[in-house]
Structure 1
Amino acid sequence: MDTHTIITAEDLAEARTDFRSERANVVAKNAVTSVGLRKAARVPEGVAANPLTFDVEVAQGDRCDQKRSGRCWMFASLNTMRFRTIKKYNLKTFELSQAYPLFFDKLEKSNWFLENVIDTADEPLHGRLVSYLLQDPIGDGGQWDMFRALVRKYGVVPKEAMPETACSENTAELDSYLTRYLRASAKRLRDSRARGGSEEGLRQLKAEAMTNVYRLLVTCLGEPPESFSVRLRDKDDKLALSGTFTPQEFFSEAVGMELDDYVSLISAPTEDKPFGHTYTVSRLGNVVEAGGVRYLNLEPSELKRVAIAQLKDGLPVWFGCDVAQSYLSSEGIMDTAALDVDGLLGFRVEAGFDKASRLDYGESLMTHAMVLEGVDLDDAGKPTLWKVENSWGKDHGRDGFDTMSDAWFDEYVYQVVVDKRYLSEEERRTYETEEPRVLEPWDPMGSLALLH
């Protein structure tokens, strides 16, 4: 066998000699084997550049905790909504139910999945498309457009009206059994089509499956309320809101957010996605009648501009990012200067890609959604540091908050959601009128924020 194709004893001997010849390698080995890569690569001067003072800041209620679930996109969306309720009624804190949208997201995703199964029943089972659809039919993850569809259809409720359950706080069992049932339902649908079953027969099978999906969800999460009573007291203990509401009425009265005014902007500098155009992702969504997602792709500087404008108007900003990159989780710091893995190892690891190539080669995509609640600006009005509300509880980071350097924003923020009034006239016209270019279902811009 050609020795160039295998690892030989001589190769190993040379590698050992090379490693031991450098003092830095030995020091790095001792440090990393004791505390781990990130702790050993931590740069104290970079950490020190992340204070908790901000020129622009919005005040929020107590920190929320998604526990062992992938509902970050829901928590981020609800945090932008509850902010309005807290402000409107002068509340000390307030929380909207996260179990309520979880229920309907699972229900709608199940329906979406089964519709896709019927639509692709003649596609090869082991082809890329069907394999992709079967991979994760009802995972916890999602995007803003999907959450907007849920709220538009089902409204919102206070946390007390539908509290957390063991299965909402830790979704692993629910997801596992619901996924298994849906895959079995997919098999029944495909087998029926293969036997020449009628459209009516397929629809009957799907209806039976959805009845069982509802039963499973109620068993795990409880039954969503059709109406509920509310009594909210302000910071002075005065009654601020009282009455009985449906979920849609409560959203209209207590949140009052114009959902259709908020648009998703992405920043993906890959060759196949020129800036200044709109995009959608094939077969990505949850509520069938709402359709899929719609993005406008812009330079990172534009995402920052509109985010700052919305923060200056006193409103938080939903955003999606690849949070695991250059992240000191225990300290709540996202900063490319706070970690020097390449310096520790002595060769290029983090610097091996630019943003576009990270997306193209599967190294990065959106994994987590959070909320921008503040920004620090330099003398020229340019951002230097961002304040981030996470959904990992008050004991995470710094009382539940993270900080994000502006350089980290450039590299790892992929999406923000803002009121379209902050767009330029040309950007708004493009978003509203251009026919979106359709991306493949597995495109990185179709990733769902779901990090626990």
Structure 2
Amino acid sequence: MSDLSTVTASDVSAASEAFFGQRANVVAKNAVTAKGVRAVARVPEAAALNTTTFDIEVKQGARTDQKRSGRCWMFASLNTMRMRVIESYKLKDFELSQAYPLFWDKLEKSNYFFENIIDTADQPVNGRLVSFLLTDPVSDGGQWDMFKALVKKYGVVPKEAMPESASSSNTRDLDGYLTRYLRSSAHKLRAAFEGGASVEELRARKKEMMANVYALLVTCLGEPPASFSVRLRDKDDNMALSGTFTPHEFYERAVGLDLDDYVSLISAPTADKPFGRTYTVSRLGNVVEAGGVRYLNLEPAELKRAAIKQLEDGLPVWFGCDVDQSFIQEEGIMDLDALAIDELFGFPIVGDFDKAARLDYGESLMTHAMVLEGVNLDEGGRSTLWKVENSWGKDHAKDGFDTLTDAWFDEYVYQVVVDKKYLTDQQREVFETMEPIELSPWDPMGALA
């Protein structure tokens, strides 16, 4: 075998000699082994540029905490809605229940999974599609369109009406046992198909399985309320809202947001996704009858323009990003210049891998959803720094909020959700009328925040 195809002893010796021949390498080794990569790569001058005051800022309630769950997309969605309740009734603070949509999302995702299993029953279990469906059928993550579908079908409730449980705050066991049951049930459905069962017979068996899913969810999360009493007092301790409501009635009365007005804009510069086109993702969704997701792909500058317009009108903005890239978590700083990784290691790791290539080669995708609640602008009205409401509790970073630079936005923000009135006439027409291009289930734009 050629020496070029193997790691030889002389290769290791040469690499070691080259490494230890540089004083900077030895210093880096000693520092990183003691403190870790990001602590040593942190650039204090970049960190010092992050501010806590903003030109445009939306004041929201106290910071929320998703704890040990992957519900960021739900927290971000509910946090954009609760401000309307706080403002409408002049409340000191308010939270909508995050356990309530979690329950219905798990139920709907289970049904969505079963429908996909029935639909692919004639395909090999070790084929790419069925293997993909079995990988993570009830992930905590989601998309804005999936949350929209849940609210349309089930409404919302105040946090007091369905408070957190041990299994909503830490979803590991709930997800693990539900996933095991779903996979076991998928095996039974496929076996029945191989035995000659019709689609109608498979769906009848699915109904029995869904009853067990419901029982598991009630056991872990409690039963969602069909109706509940509400008493909200304003900042002056006057009764602002009281009565008994269903979840739909409460949404219409207290939130009143027209969900159909809000659209998802993405920014993915890969060759297979031309800008100015609409896209959907095959087999991505939760509520079967609601359909899937719909995106309009635009340049980052257009996502920023629409987000700024919405913030100027006093409304927060849901967005999805790859949160861990160039991120100093303890300080809540997302900044391309905050970590000198290439300088630390002495060769390019971060700097020569552009956004399109990162998406194509599996290095980056949307991993987290949060809320834009502020922005700083330069003299020309261009954004420079964004204020972010996270859902990791008040003790995270700067009293629970983060900042991200405009350059970081360009590279790692993949989605914003805005009222369609902030689109141009042409963008609105494209979003509403163009037949979306269907992406593969495993496309990075199908990632769940």
Same fold (TM over 0.5): yes
* Inter-partner Cα distance in structure 1 for 2:113 and 2:54: 44
- Partner amino acid, structure 2, of 1:88: S
Q: Which residue of structure 1 aligns with residue 395 of structure 2?
A: 395
- Partner amino acid, structure 1, of 2:263: V
Q: Give 1:78 shift.
A: 0.2
Whether contact under 8 Å (2:137, 2:179) holds in the other structure is yes
Question: Per-residue displacement from partner, 1:257-301 (whole Å, max 9, x unpaired)?
Answer: 010000000000000000000000000000001000000000000
* Inter-partner Cα distance in structure 2 for 1:380 and 1:17: 52
* Inter-partner Cα distance in structure 1 for 2:439 and 2:422: 26
* Inter-partner Cα distance in structure 2 for 1:159 and 1:438: 37
* Inter-partner Cα distance in structure 2 for 1:195 and 1:224: 38
Q: Which residue of structure 2 aligns with residue 228 of structure 1?
A: 228
Q: Which residue of structure 1 aligns with residue 352 of structure 2?
A: 352
Q: Which residue of structure 2 aligns with residue 77 of structure 1?
A: 77
* Inter-partner Cα distance in structure 1 for 2:202 and 2:258: 38
* Inter-partner Cα distance in structure 1 for 2:378 and 2:92: 32
The answer to which of 343-352 and 384-393 deviates more is: 343-352
Instruction: Map 1:185-264 to 2 at 5 A.
Output: 185-264=185-264
* Inter-partner Cα distance in structure 2 for 1:358 and 1:374: 28
- Partner amino acid, structure 2, of 1:340: A
Q: Which residue of structure 1 aligns with residue 303 of structure 2?
A: 303
- Secondary structure at the residue paired with 2:25? helix
- Secondary structure at the residue paired with 1:286? coil
Q: Give 1:122 shift.
A: 0.2
Residue 446 (structure 2) pairs with residue 434 (structure 1)? no
Q: Give 1:21 shift.
A: 1.1
Q: Give 1:352 shift.
A: 2.8
- Partner amino acid, structure 2, of 1:18: A
* Inter-partner Cα distance in structure 1 for 2:192 and 2:252: 44
* Inter-partner Cα distance in structure 2 for 1:198 and 1:406: 55
Residue 300 (structure 2) pairs with residue 292 (structure 1)? no
* Inter-partner Cα distance in structure 1 for 2:414 and 2:264: 10
* Inter-partner Cα distance in structure 1 for 2:96 and 2:444: 30
Q: Which residue of structure 1 aligns with residue 5 of structure 2?
A: 5
* Inter-partner Cα distance in structure 2 for 1:93 and 1:369: 22
Q: Give 1:337 shift.
A: 1.0
Question: Per-residue displacement from partner, 1:175-224 (whole Å, max 9, x unpaired)?
Answer: 00000000011011100010111233212210110000000000000000
- Secondary structure at the residue paired with 2:372? strand
Whether contact under 8 Å (2:274, 2:297) holds in the other structure is yes
Q: Which residue of structure 2 aligns with residue 148 of structure 1?
A: 148
* Inter-partner Cα distance in structure 2 for 1:289 and 1:366: 25
- Partner amino acid, structure 1, of 2:15: A
- Partner amino acid, structure 2, of 1:291: G
- Secondary structure at the residue paired with 2:66? coil
Q: Which residue of structure 2 aligns with residue 118 of structure 1?
A: 118
* Inter-partner Cα distance in structure 2 for 1:171 and 1:139: 10
* Inter-partner Cα distance in structure 1 for 2:443 and 2:289: 23
Residue 266 (structure 2) pairs with residue 266 (structure 1)? yes
Q: Which residue of structure 1 aligns with residue 324 of structure 2?
A: 324
* Inter-partner Cα distance in structure 1 for 2:405 and 2:333: 8
Whether contact under 8 Å (2:118, 2:199) holds in the other structure is no
* Inter-partner Cα distance in structure 2 for 1:82 and 1:354: 37
* Inter-partner Cα distance in structure 2 for 1:352 and 1:396: 31
Residue 14 (structure 2) pairs with residue 14 (structure 1)? yes
- Partner amino acid, structure 1, of 2:72: C
* Inter-partner Cα distance in structure 2 for 1:117 and 1:315: 40
* Inter-partner Cα distance in structure 2 for 1:81 and 1:419: 13
The answer to which of 236-245 and 302-311 deviates more is: 236-245
* Inter-partner Cα distance in structure 1 for 2:427 and 2:162: 39
- Secondary structure at the residue paired with 1:411? helix
* Inter-partner Cα distance in structure 2 for 1:295 and 1:67: 29
TM-score by length of 2: 1.00
Instruction: Map 1:63-142 to 2 at 5 A.
Output: 63-142=63-142
- Secondary structure at the residue paired with 2:242? strand
Question: Per-residue displacement from partner, 1:80-121 (whole Å, max 9, x unpaired)?
Answer: 000110111111110000000000000000000000000000
Q: Give 1:2 shift.
A: 1.5
* Inter-partner Cα distance in structure 2 for 1:235 and 1:263: 33
Question: Per-residue displacement from partner, 1:325-353 (whole Å, max 9, x unpaired)?
Answer: 00000111001111110011111001131
Q: Which residue of structure 1 aligns with residue 373 of structure 2?
A: 373
* Inter-partner Cα distance in structure 2 for 1:97 and 1:321: 24
Q: Give 1:306 shift.
A: 0.2
- Partner amino acid, structure 2, of 1:20: F
TM-score by length of 1: 0.99
- Which structure 1 segments of 5+ residues have no match? none
Q: Give 1:3 shift.
A: 1.2
Q: Give 1:9 shift.
A: 1.0
- Partner amino acid, structure 2, of 1:90: K
* Inter-partner Cα distance in structure 1 for 2:269 and 2:336: 19
* Inter-partner Cα distance in structure 1 for 2:55 and 2:27: 41
Q: How many residues align?
A: 449
Q: Which residue of structure 2 aligns with residue 341 of structure 1?
A: 341
- Partner amino acid, structure 2, of 1:230: V
- Percent sequence identity is 72
* Inter-partner Cα distance in structure 2 for 1:380 and 1:98: 40
Q: Give 1:441 shift.
A: 0.1
Instruction: Map 1:174-193 to 2 at 5 A.
Output: 174-193=174-193
* Inter-partner Cα distance in structure 2 for 1:147 and 1:410: 25
RMSD over equivalenced CA pairs, Å? 0.5
Question: Per-residue displacement from partner, 1:111-158 (whole Å, max 9, x unpaired)?
Answer: 000000000000111100000000000110000000000000000000
Q: Which residue of structure 1 aligns with residue 281 of structure 2?
A: 281
* Inter-partner Cα distance in structure 1 for 2:406 and 2:253: 36
- Partner amino acid, structure 1, of 2:125: L
